[in-house]
Amino acid sequence: MERRQVLKAGGVAATAGLTGLAGCSSSNPDESGETDTPSNGNTTTILMVTEGSDYYFDPIGLFVESGETITFEIDSGSHSATAYKKGNGQASVTHIPDGAEAFDSGILSEQGATFEHTFETAGTHDYYCTPHKSLDMVGRIVVGEPGGPAEGSMPPDGDVPESQTIVDQGAVSYSDFSG
């Protein structure tokens, strides 16, 4: 599965035990990256990366089922994961479904720092990084199936993969998308 690449990408194993999930001991991938999906299958990580003059979420496009939890984790630099909903941070448009929670991690700066959000509402969720919004640091999460006001246009601050591509591939890495 594509998402396995995320877990191998850096430092996740070392910090998986520090996320403070009460009573959850299933997110314990070993260093080899060869672990099977945790039994509940419900934790997926998106890295937040500063690399030279590139600022990005990786994977930039991700599919999850309704009810799944995504962990946003600082790989390098200082970032936020902030939903495109008018009034949420600096969002100028709403690109999440009606009824979906407008998540906002606030700015995270420590390597390995995490923010978790459980996506309950089906549809297309676009989000951005507050400090790097003007530098194309945006991402798209499709929950269950594409839908809602994000469909038919890209976020105002940068491009993300098409929703159907995300559904088909499960995850779209930043390098695949930008390269």
Rule CB under 5 A: which residues touch Cu ion? 55, 79, 129, 132, 137
In angstroms, give the least distance from the CB of 132 to Cu ion. 3
Q: Which is nearer to Cu ion, 68 or 157 (CB)?
A: 157
In angstroms, give the least distance from the CB of 34 to Cu ion. 30
Q: Which is nearer to Cu ion, 83 or 129 (CB)?
A: 129
Q: How many CB atoms lie within 10 A of CB 39?
A: 7
| Residue 177, helix vs strand vs coil | helix
In angstroms, give the least distance from the CB of 104 to Cu ion. 13
Are 10 and 75 within 8 A, CB to CB? yes
Q: How many CB atoms lie within 10 A of CB 143?
A: 25
Q: Which is nearer to Cu ion, 62 or 122 (CB)?
A: 62
Cis omega (within 30 of 0) for bond into 155: no
